[in-house]
Structure 1
Amino acid sequence: MSDHILIERAGEAGEINIIRFNRPEKKNAITRAMYAAMAKALVDGDADDTVRVHVMLGTPGAFSSGNDMQDFMAVAMGAEKGTEVLDFLGALAGVKKPVVSGVDGLAIGVGATIHLHCDMTFATPESRFHTPFVDLALVPEAASSLLVPLAIGHQRAFALLAAGIPFSGEEAERAGLIFKTVPAAELEPTVLATATGLAQKPPKALALARRLIKPDTEQVMARMREEADLFAKQLKSAEALAAFQAFMARKK
């Protein structure tokens, strides 16, 4: 397990499985080890009859700034991509129990698209949902090219996923991308209270309702694989390498 992902159980019987980013010094940028830890936490939580709800949280000011750019650079320079990202996204898309998430601050790239697979997302008004895929010569991932247009329509989806225009928490709520915005001080208590309420509902009925409401899992996974193939090809492209080098130079 990665020290940058904290796993804890909450509730009277440990019925809430909390997965928390814990790399604030890097704005919770996600490494391969972190993806692996989150995938295991979801799989283990789904297999544990005590667990009724999964919760995903970041740290103040950052849910996640997205994939660690050093990993992107390594792949662009010829390293193997690994399966950790797809393992996590597959576990998240296929999870059987409800997922509630809370966002304060940055939610960039996969840090934004994670919430498409959550059942209820709360965010602070100051949050920033940003998917600069095309700016990095990449393509949308996590089945976002399928799920975002379904949730918010073509034009808003194009603005977010292709034009790379950030959405504030309030804009994301108005668009229908997330459930609700709350003040920063109320974010975590609201998420945990919501998770507690869901954990108290009849589990089979809740699971059936959730399955009926969500898009077809096979369709989601098929789009995720299609995106991943294109993403992998773009990662090794000359334009992606140039974009990554420009990004790293700006950071320095």
Structure 2
Amino acid sequence: MAQDPMQHTGHETTQDVVVELQDAILTITLNRPAKKNALTDPMYGLLANAIERAESDPDVRVVLLRAEGDLFSAGNDIADFSRLAEQIAGASADQTAPEPSGAATTESTEPTEPGGPASAITGQMNVWRFLHALAACTTPIVAAVQGKAVGVGTTMLLHADYVVLAEGAQLITPFVDLALVPEAASTLLLPQRIGHVRAFAMFALAEPLAAEDAVATGLANRVVPAESLQDTARQVAEALAAKPAGSLTATKRLMRDAAALTRVMDREVAEFTDRLAGPEAREAFAAFAERRSPDFSPFS
């Protein structure tokens, strides 16, 4: 059996994700600045591995989440979404193709998987493993955010315990603009934090939330000059690492209902899968690739 490449080492790196353990702090760095740290499925797999490691490795007391470049993350790589939508469309077409003439048919008594081929395909995506790992994580997570955090770049922060924003940072959740729905249990957590009307505006109208407003509404702890961001976040992580680990993780566990978060995530995934397989999403992705405004008027 192949070993997990993240086990038994202090420093791990790929082209797009860097994971390093030093002084009980597991630092996870998004390292795809040329693509605005847009997240691909392999990157989600590495992120999931890192969060799972934080839960199982007794040498890890705190997770520090950060990013290289001018912005934290542009969210999910749209090219990945487009490829996935094509896979789903192809699988659905195969499932509904007529039997060859004269072929014998039998009526199956086996239950079909909810969502059919779409669920089967999206269920294999590493993003869901990453988000479920976040929901279950009892290790404190500190996040350092500069520039824009878009889509999952924002929703993952709802699972961080201490968020430091650089001046000028913005949180943006344009899920409806992409004909999708929010994920990461954000349909529960964001309204809880900032209220229904503001959360709805962020989701439905992609209204950005400025750094100062994020602090005022409880989405972040503090705003610091950009040049102080990494040092400030590291200092917070060091302070947490010095606390009694058992008490710290127990406190976080008591503050969060991981089972409830997972249930919400599962509902979001089911709806997300349906939206991703639909014509609205295909139009949104095509418009993005063609650098034009989408036209959703043909769809009811």
CA contact (8 A) 2:36 2:69 kept: no
Whether 1:169 and 2:222 are equivalent positions in the alignment is no
The equivalent of 2:17 in structure 1 is 5
Cα distance, 1:60 vs structure 2: 3.2
Q: More displaced, 196-205 or 73-82? A: 73-82
Listed as ranges, the matches of 1:109-148 within 5 Å are: 109-148=151-190
Match of 1:185 in 2: 227
| Per-residue Cα deviation, 1:150-175 (whole angstroms, up to 9, x for no partner) | 11111111111222101121121122
The answer to whether the Cα contact below 8 Å between 2:16 and 2:31 also exists between their aligned partners in 1 is yes
1:159 counterpart (178, 201, 209): 201
CA distance in structure 2 between the aligned counterparts of 1:221 and 1:96, rounded to whole angstroms? 14
Q: Partner of 2:45 in structure 1?
A: 36
Deviation, structure 1 residue 10: 2.4
Given the two structures, how large is their TM-score scaled by the length of structure 2? 0.80
Given that 1:105 and 1:127 are in contact with CA atoms closer than 8 Å, whether structure 2 keeps it comes out as: yes
1:75 deviation in Å?
1.4
Matched, 1:102 2:147: no
Uncovered stretches (5+) of structure 1, i.e. residues with no partner: none
**Is 2:249 aligned against 1:249?**
no
Q: Select the residue among 241, 265, 274 that pairs with 1:224.
A: 265
Point out the structure with max Rg over C-alpha. Answer: 2
Which range moves more in the overlay, 32-41 or 159-168?
Answer: 159-168
Pick aligned residue for 2:86 from 77, 81, 84: 77
Q: In 1, distance between residues paired with 2:41 and 2:221?
A: 29
Aligned-residue CA RMSD in angstroms?
Answer: 1.3
How many residues are aligned here?
247
Q: What is the CA distance between 1:109 and its match in structure 2?
A: 0.3
Query: How far, CA to CA, are the matches of 2:31 and 2:125 in structure 1?
Result: 22
Mapped to 1, the partners of 2:65 and 2:222 lie a distance apart of 15
Q: What do residues 61-93 of structure 1 show as CA deviations (whole Å, max 9, x unaligned)?
A: 111100011110011212533320100001111
User: Given that residues 175 and 181 in structure 2 are in contact (C-alpha distance below 8 angstroms), is that contact kept between their aligned partners in structure 1?
Assistant: yes
Q: Distance in 2 between matches of 1:88 and 1:212?
A: 21
TM-score by length of 1: 0.95
Q: Which residue does the alignment assign to 1:86? A: 128
1:59 paired to 2:39: no
Q: Distance in 2 between matches of 1:163 and 1:10?
A: 41
- The one-letter code matched in structure 2 to 1:246 is A
